Amino acid sequence: MKTAGWRSMLLYGCMLALCQPLAGCGSADAPAAPKDDGASHAQAAPAIPADAPLVIAFGDSLYAGYQLGPKEGLAPQLQAALTADGVVTRVQNAGVSGDTSAAGRQRLAYVLDNARQKPALVLLGLGGNDMLRGIGPDQTRANLDAMLAELKRRDIPVLLTGMMAAPNLGSDYEKKFNPIYPDLAAKYGVSFYPFILDNVVTDPSLMLADHLHPNAEGVKIVVQGLAPLVEAALPAAG
């Protein structure tokens, strides 16, 4: 990762260290607060064909759109970015605030089995809540490994988004947690975005007041980084 990315990760870790007693990447019982931004929603999105390739965004609150409006989260903004680029696809929000890697592992098969069609791509982003709760990195690695294995078994391409450990958890935890994502991306040969909040977390204007989650503008920056990887992984881009 470029130097700026490592700097973002370090500063994010410091923020996590300060906020860890207060939050855990959202909570399943802390509902989002939808809001209407008026003019930005005025233009209706074009209709998406029923047989358009399906992209499933499977993660925690960073995917779910924690405290954001219905068009401000990762899935809807990624959908809009792909549409603007002329890429016809449907992005499904399968993010759940508060999800650990274990919870994601438990629900992955259900989500895949009940999708309207076989996904052309799955964005996978879990493990942040494991880290905030101090769950053993070996468990996080095992759960992510199992999910990637299941997706490989189903022949579904993956874009894995990474996370990092807060420094207050200690160097031993950091050395075990941080390599999980690049290691597994290499093992399964999947697309990889090393740090989900790269170029976002260092700018307070792009973050919510909890300093853990991006606001709508922050999500926009995340999507700018993810969209080219998504487009490259979709069949229509090949």
Pairing mode, strands 90-95 and 121-125: unpaired
Collapse the DSSP code of 187 into the 3-class scheme (helix H, G, I; strand E, B; otherwise coil) and give the result: helix
Q: Which long-range contacts (C-beta less than 8 Å, at least 24 apart) are formed by 30-38?
A: 30/66, 30/97, 30/98, 32/64, 32/65, 32/66, 32/67, 32/68, 32/97, 33/67, 34/68, 34/69, 34/70, 35/68, 35/69, 35/72, 36/69, 37/69, 37/72, 37/216
In what helix (H) or strand (E) does residue 92 lie, and over which residues does it extend? Answer: strand 90-95
Instruction: Return the number of other C-beta atoms located less than 10 Å from residue 196's C-beta.
Output: 25
Given the residues 8, 61, 97, 101, the one annotated as active site: 61
- Collect all residues with Cβ–Cβ distance below 8 Å to 193 and sequence separation of at least 6: 159, 160, 161, 162, 225, 226, 229
Residue 41 annotated among the catalytic residues of the structure:
no
Q: Are 37 and 74 spatial neighbours (Cβ–Cβ below 8 Å)?
A: no
Given the residues 97, 99, 130, 213, the one annotated as active site: 213
Residue 40 annotated among the catalytic residues of the structure:
no
Nearest in space to 137 (alpha carbons), one of 104, 107, 179, 103: 179
User: Which of the residues are catalytic?
Assistant: 61, 210, 213
